[in-house]
Amino acid sequence: MSALIQATVAKKRCQQLPLHDIQKLVLQGYDLHRSRYFVLTVANAKLARQFLTKLADEHWLTTAEHHRDHVAERLHGQQCPVSLGLTFKGLVALELNPRYQAVFKNKARAFAEGAHFRAAAHLADTGNNAAAFWKPEFQPDKAHVLLTLHADTQQALAQTQKTLQDMAGSAFEMVGWHNAFEGQHLEETAPARKARRVHFGMLDGISQVRIHGATDKAGTHEPGELLLGHANDEGFNAWRLATERPDLSGTSGLSAQAQSAKVASFFKNASFCAFRPMRQYVTAFQQFLDTQASEWDVSAEYLRAKLLGRWDNGQVIRTGETSAPVAQAGRLDDFKFKDDPAGLGCPFGAHIRRMNPRDDGVVPTRRRPIVRRGMPYGPAWTPAEPNGTDLERGLLGLFFCASLEDQFEHLLSEWANANPMGVPNKGTAKDPLIGNHSQPHARFDIPQDMDHDPLALQGFTPFVRTEGTLYAFFPGLHGLHMMNDSEVFGPRACHD
């Protein structure tokens, strides 16, 4: 395909997505250095609805059509870009019509039930990660609204928070404004915008999910993997028929067909998000690497690359490598696991091979893409920290998808916390980085050549602890404006 044809196809796909109706954080994200997330509790439904629609009316909510220059201009005026998600309990508190609630219960059971209820069975959150130990902000009856701010400076975040609090008045309980989640990238330089690192030391954001129509660049997945009301990679649109039970009483003044179309429009171009703060025990991870490196007479750098799947410079680890090769600029994501069928380069249990098995021949053809946002929190780790010290640091994870059950929950319960994929593999350890390790004798196999047995690493302890999880619905701008419709939100809607 010629470059001209490729550009024409990309432009056509971009035009097919209504960028003005999709929240920017969902589709494109930001490259700003800092963030502040609020989990708010509705105190007055009417005032809360007025505030949330005002965010859209006064252009606080940025959309995918707003490019970098627009965001920079808003920030120059101390107005941070805002993004908005609503939990199921939050929608109920905002007095969403029960017919719309029923659609969530029918088509998005995980969202309707909430992460707190599903933590043990579907997120592998047991032991110290259990929902009973989560931060109080994630209690189901408290977590109603997820509001995110992004900026380069603390000053911009503080000014925007003050303005929004004044706008909201008594719409929400004050505790949510006071207990914000603060995110900050580890480096705040211009080059760092293109090469972010997380606390464990690895480069982040290398393998980004690209959606057709999200940008001018060619996508790898159909919009329905992220956005409701669109076909996914399998050609299936679960949200085409938004309701099977229209109001036939005639009180709405609309035909059954028009009612269904109206309900469908509420969900169109929205996305589901799992907000998951995860504390990261970097000192413990580093000590594990040092201990295992000494036992097996290899370098800690080599073991880190085998556990994660990449060297510190982002290059995937390949067969025969014992030290990091020179990173090939622009090609860090240019590899296929089918070229490594025995796991001699990247082991089957490695973090990146679990979370994104690509074309690995031992996994089903159904890929489960997740759009990852979020930001680190807490001070950067340094080797100078005393042994036994683990300051509070981690990742404020935002994970977007069209199906929490089929995508987010499947990755955690099946791919991260079950036996690693791969027929030749005999290891029993969970994902070495984010797995909920509960069996110290579980084994992580690092395959060697045919003349040598695999290196069998044991003694894993949890390197990550779940601080909480909530499931949020990030509506399209049209769906958000339906808060002004008394047949969709409000006391009358609740009793229809």
430-434: which pairs have CB atoms within 8 A and are 24 or more residues apart? 430/460, 431/349, 431/351, 431/354, 431/355, 432/307, 432/308, 432/349, 432/350, 432/351, 432/460, 432/463, 433/200, 433/285, 433/307, 433/308, 433/351, 433/463, 433/464, 434/278, 434/351, 434/463, 434/464
Res. 43: pLDDT tops 60:
yes
Tell me how far apart the alpha carbons of residues 324 and 379 are, in angstroms, rounded to a whole number: 27
Tell me how far apart the alpha carbons of residues 54 and 168 are, in angstroms, rounded to a whole number: 10
368 pLDDT band, cuts 50/70/90, is confident
**Does some domain include residue 378?**
no
Structural domain count, the chain: 1
**Does some domain include residue 151?**
yes
**Overall average pLDDT of the 390-401 stretch:** 93
**Does some domain include residue 71?**
yes
**Chain segment 52-108, per-residue pLDDT in tens:** 999 999 999 999 998 888 888 888 888 899 999 999 999 999 999 999 999 999 999
Q: Which of the residue ranges 174-183, 384-393, 458-467, 482-491 would you say has the lowest mean pLDDT? A: 384-393
Assigned token pair, 227: 């956005």
- For residue 466, what is the enclosing H or E element? strand 464-466
Tell me which residue has tokens 């330089």: 189
- Write down the pLDDT at residue 423: 58
Q: b/e for 105-129, b at 16 or more Cβ within 10 A?
A: eebbebbbbbbbebbeebbbbeeeb
For 17, 27, 43, 363, the CA distances from 235, given in Å and listed in that order, are 16, 20, 42, 20
Tell me how far apart the alpha carbons of residues 19 and 478 are, in angstroms, rounded to a whole number: 12
**Chain segment 310-325, per-residue pLDDT in tens:** 999 889 899 988 898 8
Number of CB atoms found within 10 A of residue 38's CB: 20
The dihedrals phi and psi of 492, each to the nearest 5 degrees, come to -65, -40
Q: b/e for 3-34, b at 16 or more Cβ within 10 A?
A: eeeeeeebeebbeebbbebbbbbbbbbbebbb
**Does some domain include residue 457?**
no
**Does some domain include residue 38?**
yes
Number of CB atoms found within 10 A of residue 482's CB: 20
- Predicted TM-score (pTM) above 0.85: yes
Number of CB atoms found within 10 A of residue 222's CB: 22
- Write down the pLDDT at residue 339: 86
Assigned token pair, 389: 């010290």
**Chain segment 404-461, per-residue pLDDT in tens:** 999 999 888 877 777 765 556 677 888 888 888 888 888 999 988 878 888 999 999 9
Q: b/e for 438-455, b at 16 or more Cβ within 10 A?
A: beeebbbbbbeeeeeebb
CB-CB contact of 313 with 195 (8 Å):
no
**Does some domain include residue 166?**
yes
Tell me how far apart the alpha carbons of residues 53 and 145 are, in angstroms, rounded to a whole number: 13
Range of the domain at 18: 3-276+469-495
Quick one: 189 exposed, middle or buried, by C-beta within 10 A (0-12, 13-18, 19+)? exposed
- Write down the pLDDT at residue 289: 95
**Chain segment 147-162, per-residue pLDDT in tens:** 999 999 999 999 999 9
For 94, 113, 352, 395, the CA distances from 22, given in Å and listed in that order, are 21, 25, 29, 25
Tell me how far apart the alpha carbons of residues 416 and 411 are, in angstroms, rounded to a whole number: 6
**Does some domain include residue 156?**
yes
Looking only at the bridges linking them, the beta strands covering 181-184 and 464-466 are: unpaired
Number of CB atoms found within 10 A of residue 190's CB: 7
Strands (E), 162-221: 181-184
Strands (E), 268-312: 271-280
Tell me how far apart the alpha carbons of residues 421 and 404 are, in angstroms, rounded to a whole number: 22
365 pLDDT band, cuts 50/70/90, is low
- Write down the pLDDT at residue 71: 85
Res. 230: pLDDT tops 90:
yes
Secondary structure letter of residue 386 according to DSSP: P
CB-CB contact of 483 with 94 (8 Å):
yes
Which residues does 432 contact at the CB level (< 8 Å), separation at least 6? Answer: 307, 308, 349, 350, 351, 444, 460, 463
Secondary structure letter of residue 381 according to DSSP: P
Res. 383: pLDDT tops 60:
yes
**Does some domain include residue 301?**
no
Q: Over the chain, what is the mean pLDDT? A: 87
Quick one: 205 exposed, middle or buried, by C-beta within 10 A (0-12, 13-18, 19+)? middle
**Chain segment 176-227, per-residue pLDDT in tens:** 999 999 999 999 888 888 888 889 888 887 777 888 887 777 668 899 999 9
- Write down the pLDDT at residue 9: 42
**Overall average pLDDT of the 138-150 stretch:** 96
Q: What share of the chain is helix, strand, coil (3-state, %, to 5)?
A: 35, 15, 50
**Overall average pLDDT of the 331-358 stretch:** 84
Tell me how far apart the alpha carbons of residues 461 and 282 are, in angstroms, rounded to a whole number: 12
Tell me how far apart the alpha carbons of residues 327 and 342 are, in angstroms, rounded to a whole number: 23
- For residue 464, what is the enclosing H or E element? strand 464-466
139 pLDDT band, cuts 50/70/90, is very high
Which residues does 263 contact at the CB level (< 8 Å), separation at least 6? Answer: 99, 100, 103, 242, 243, 246
Tell me how far apart the alpha carbons of residues 126 and 133 are, in angstroms, rounded to a whole number: 10
Which residues does 413 contact at the CB level (< 8 Å), separation at least 6? Answer: 121, 122, 123, 124
